[in-house]
């Protein structure tokens, strides 16, 4: 074999991150430490294959495709199912996985391998009416996701059809739709696909696979991924791996569910399990904020055995990686499956607390603790907080989840493009959305703060805002949103574009009007970590200061002298 483009999970480990990407390397590592019974066994298409895809003019060559299909055959043997088979079908997920974590920036396709024949056969083999509903739920999800992600049709057409169906049936959530409703939706989705593209929805699973892998490779170069890479110094030349796994179904029935969890609180660093969970749902429902999820503790009541096993897995993973873990999992018929883990993104205060705690717990040396903190995030400690006196006089008009700490105030905007445009003309803005999506990244960067109606602590808005150090309040369900007319109501007040609002990303409180802010105070862990840094550093730190106030603040923060002083600023 000239090149090895595909590795089964059992063939790799975490030292192969450059080849397998972060997700693939961790799936391989998790397989070795947790066992194949907990990790659905699949394969990873390497980052080199992504590079080759671009060198070949954005095409997957025959050698790579042959190795992908060989990986599918091995998956069939491991899982006892056959890809594309009508009687015992193997359905798969196709997911990205770059070397560095890029949450929500690249694409995923779930339920791949379904077509009309497979759907009909699955239903014929299981007369339970709840199973029929599950099959059509999975099918309509696949058609929508494939159309949007792979064929770039745009999800709005399908969302409109879902909303129309829910309105006709008088229900609020997708989960309230019947098997007949979902079957009708699947037909409407295929008709919409043909209307938009002029061809029938692809029924050949091998063609679906090739197009899906190409779509994940292509997403490495999408606008939101490029913005994220620039902000996080991730080289374009790295490329992304692709992970193909057998589907496990959190939407199978009410004995199933899906969730996202962190072994420590990513907002505060507190050493306690934090996460969210949804019954009868698939993974994207949690991060997309389609329904507001329940806290992870609720899982203990719903699935006590799986919850107990999950706690053991959390302890095993954190002890193995010696860092806070961000995990995705699914429960199918009360059985736990782990779908991924990675070192979790965290706020700057949380990073300092976790670093100090890991030293105290014997996981890290002080030198390792300093090295694990991203220095760019430390400036979030200097972000404004509300002035205490002004805050005391203010009354919250609503409350969401404090998803990313800090305080923000500004004028309300409703789209990412408007946030950018208003910011460019010097306005401070708060971006208000039903829920954010990866396409909103530029607007999220331009905003002082982000407020969402849906979603929880692990939603896209929360995770990305924490990574950027931007204040975020998510999941304020009391907001009555009218995105089309750029307005919303909360506590009897109507807010239009340009209305002034203040949000607190620590408490989740929302206020009408602008509340003055003050500089944040430095927490105790900051001084401890900087003292460690002083032990190991080789460079001295001087400050850029033109005024006595600048020099005083720099001295407080440990600067050892003036490195640059512009006299013209004094003259001004």
- pLDDT beyond 70 at 382: no
Strand partners of residue 326: 262, 342
Average pLDDT, the chain: 91
Give the whole-angstrom CA distance, residue 23 versus residue 215: 17
Q: Evaluate whether 264 touches 270 at the Cβ level (below 8 Å).
A: yes
A 10 A CB-CB count for 201 gives 20
> Would you state the pLDDT for residue 375?
83
Task: Please tell me if the domain spanning 1-107+218-246 has the same topology as the one spanning 384-518.
Answer: no
- Report pLDDT digits (tens) over 196-229: 999 999 999 999 999 999 999 999 998 888 888 8
Q: Evaluate whether 419 touches 429 at the Cβ level (below 8 Å).
A: yes
Residue 386: which pLDDT band, with cuts at 50, 70 and 90?
confident
Question: Under 8 Å CB-to-CB from 39, ≥6 apart: which residues?
Answer: 9, 27, 30, 31, 337, 338
Positive/negative CA dihedral, 242, 243, 244, 247: negative
> Would you state the pLDDT for residue 383?
64
Give the whole-angstrom CA distance, residue 408 versus residue 2: 55
Q: Evaluate whether 438 touches 460 at the Cβ level (below 8 Å).
A: yes
> Would you mind telling me the total number of residues written for the chain in this entry?
572
- For 379, list phi and psi in degrees, rounded to 5: -70, -15
DSSP track, 466-503? HHHT-EEEE--TT-EEETTTTEEEETTEEEETT-EEEE
- Report pLDDT digits (tens) over 21-46: 999 999 999 999 999 999 999 999 99
Give the whole-angstrom CA distance, residue 433 versus residue 475: 10
Residue 195: which pLDDT band, with cuts at 50, 70 and 90?
very high
Beta strand 335-343 with 325-332: parallel, antiparallel or unpaired?
antiparallel
Mean pLDDT, residues 460-482: 89
Give the whole-angstrom CA distance, residue 434 versus residue 528: 40
Two structure tokens written together for 378: 């430390």
Strand partners of residue 217: none
A 10 A CB-CB count for 31 gives 23
> Would you state the pLDDT for residue 1?
53
> Would you state the pLDDT for residue 225?
86
> Would you state the pLDDT for residue 289?
62
Two structure tokens written together for 441: 């990244």
If you classify domain 248-344 with CATH, what class do you get? alpha beta
CATH number of 384-518: 3.50.30.10
Beta strand 274-279 with 257-262: parallel, antiparallel or unpaired?
antiparallel
Q: Evaluate whether 306 touches 336 at the Cβ level (below 8 Å).
A: yes
Strand partners of residue 474: 401
Residue 125: which pLDDT band, with cuts at 50, 70 and 90?
confident
Q: Is 473 exposed, middle or buried (0-12, 13-18, 19+ CB in 10 A)?
A: buried
Share of the chain above pLDDT 90, in %: 69
> Would you state the pLDDT for residue 105?
75
Alpha carbon 282 to chain centroid distance? 14
Closest to 466 in 3D by CA, of 374, 363, 339: 374
DSSP state, residue 570 = H
- pLDDT beyond 70 at 319: yes
Mean pLDDT, residues 502-531: 86
212-233: burial string, b at 16+ Cβ within 10 Å, e else = bbbbbbbbbbbebbebbbeeee
- pLDDT beyond 90 at 391: no
Question: Under 8 Å CB-to-CB from 445, ≥6 apart: which residues?
Answer: 227, 231, 468, 470
Alpha carbon 564 to chain centroid distance? 41
What are the extents of the domains in the chain?
A: 1-107+218-246, 116-203, 248-344, 384-518, 539-572
Asked: is 1-107+218-246 a CATH 3.30.200.190 domain? The reply is: no
Q: Which stretch of 108-122, 188-202, 482-496, 523-537 has the lowest confidence by average pLDDT?
A: 523-537
Question: Under 8 Å CB-to-CB from 569, ≥6 apart: which residues?
Answer: 546, 547
> Would you state the pLDDT for residue 145?
93
- Report pLDDT digits (tens) over 273-310: 999 999 988 877 776 666 778 899 999 999 999 999 99
Q: Is 426 exposed, middle or buried (0-12, 13-18, 19+ CB in 10 A)?
A: exposed
Reported as type and span, the H/E element at residue 162 is helix 156-169
Give the whole-angstrom CA distance, residue 266 versus residue 272: 10
Share of the chain above pLDDT 70, in %: 97
Pick the CATH number of 116-203 from 1.20.80.30, 1.10.760.10, 3.90.230.10, 1.25.40.10: 1.20.80.30
From residue 391, alpha-carbon distances to 14, 352, 400, 414, 570 in Å are: 48, 27, 17, 25, 34
> Would you state the pLDDT for residue 268?
85
Tell me the chain's radius of gyration from C-alpha atoms.
25
């Amino acid at each position: 074999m000239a090149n090895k483009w595909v590795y089964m999970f059992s063939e790799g480990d975490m030292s192969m991150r450059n080849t397998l990407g972060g997700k693939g390397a961790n799936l391989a590592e998790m397989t070795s430490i947790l066992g194949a019974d907990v990790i659905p066994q699949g394969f990873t298409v390497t980052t080199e294959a992504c590079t080759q895809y671009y060198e070949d003019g954005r095409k997957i060559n025959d050698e790579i495709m042959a190795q992908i299909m060989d990986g599918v055959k091995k998956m069939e043997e491991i899982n006892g199912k056959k890809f594309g088979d009508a009687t015992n079908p193997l359905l798969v997920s196709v997911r990205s996985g770059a070397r560095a974590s890029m949450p929500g920036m690249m694409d995923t396709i779930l339920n791949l391998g379904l077509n009309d024949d497979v759907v009909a056969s699955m239903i014929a083999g299981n007369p339970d009416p709840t199973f029929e509903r599950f099959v059509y739920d999975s099918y309509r999800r696949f058609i929508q996701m494939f159309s949007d992600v792979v064929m770039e049709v745009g999800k709005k057409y399908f969302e409109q059809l879902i909303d129309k169906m829910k309105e006709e049936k008088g229900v609020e959530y997708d989960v309230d739709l019947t098997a007949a409703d979902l079957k009708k939706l699947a037909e409407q989705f295929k008709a919409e696909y043909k209307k938009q593209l002029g061809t029938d929805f692809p029924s050949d699973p091998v063609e679906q696979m090739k197009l899906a892998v190409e779509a994940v490779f292509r997403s490495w170069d999408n606008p939101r991924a490029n913005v994220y890479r620039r902000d996080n110094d991730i080289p374009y030349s790295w490329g992304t791996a692709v992970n193909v796994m057998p589907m496990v179904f959190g939407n199978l029935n009410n004995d199933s569910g899906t969730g996202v969890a962190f072994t420590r609180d990513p907002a505060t660093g507190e050493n306690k399990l934090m996460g969210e969970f949804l019954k009868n749902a698939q993974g994207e429902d949690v991060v997309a904020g389609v329904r507001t999820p329940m806290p992870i503790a609720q899982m203990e009541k719903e699935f006590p055995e799986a919850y107990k096993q999950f706690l053991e897995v959390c302890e095993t993973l954190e002890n193995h990686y010696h860092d806070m873990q961000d995990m995705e999992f699914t429960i199918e018929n009360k059985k736990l499956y782990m779908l991924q883990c990675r070192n979790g993104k965290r706020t700057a205060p949380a990073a300092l607390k976790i670093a100090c705690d890991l030293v105290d717990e014997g996981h890290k040396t002080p030198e390792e603790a300093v090295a694990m903190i991203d220095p760019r995030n430390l400036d979030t400690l200097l972000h404004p907080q509300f002035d205490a006196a002004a805050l005391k006089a203010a009354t919250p008009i609503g409350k969401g989840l404090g998803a990313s700490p800090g305080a923000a105030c500004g004028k309300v905007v409703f789209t990412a493009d408007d946030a950018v445009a208003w910011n460019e003309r010097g306005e401070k803005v708060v971006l208000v959305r039903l829920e954010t999506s990866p396409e909103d990244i530029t607007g999220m960067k331009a905003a002082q703060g982000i407020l969402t109606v849906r979603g929880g602590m692990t939603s896209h808005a929360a995770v990305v805002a924490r990574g950027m150090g931007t204040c975020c309040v998510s999941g304020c369900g009391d907001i009555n949103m009218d995105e089309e007319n750029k307005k919303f109501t909360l506590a009897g007040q109507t807010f239009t574009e340009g209305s002034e609002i203040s949000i607190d990303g620590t408490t989740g409180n929302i206020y009408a009007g602008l509340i003055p802010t003050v500089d944040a105070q430095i927490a105790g862990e900051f001084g401890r970590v900087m003292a460690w840094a002083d032990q190991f550093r080789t460079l001295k730190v001087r400050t850029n200061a033109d005024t006595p106030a600048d020099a005083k603040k720099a001295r407080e923060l440990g600067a050892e002298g003036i490195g640059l002083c512009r006299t013209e600023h004094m003259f001004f």
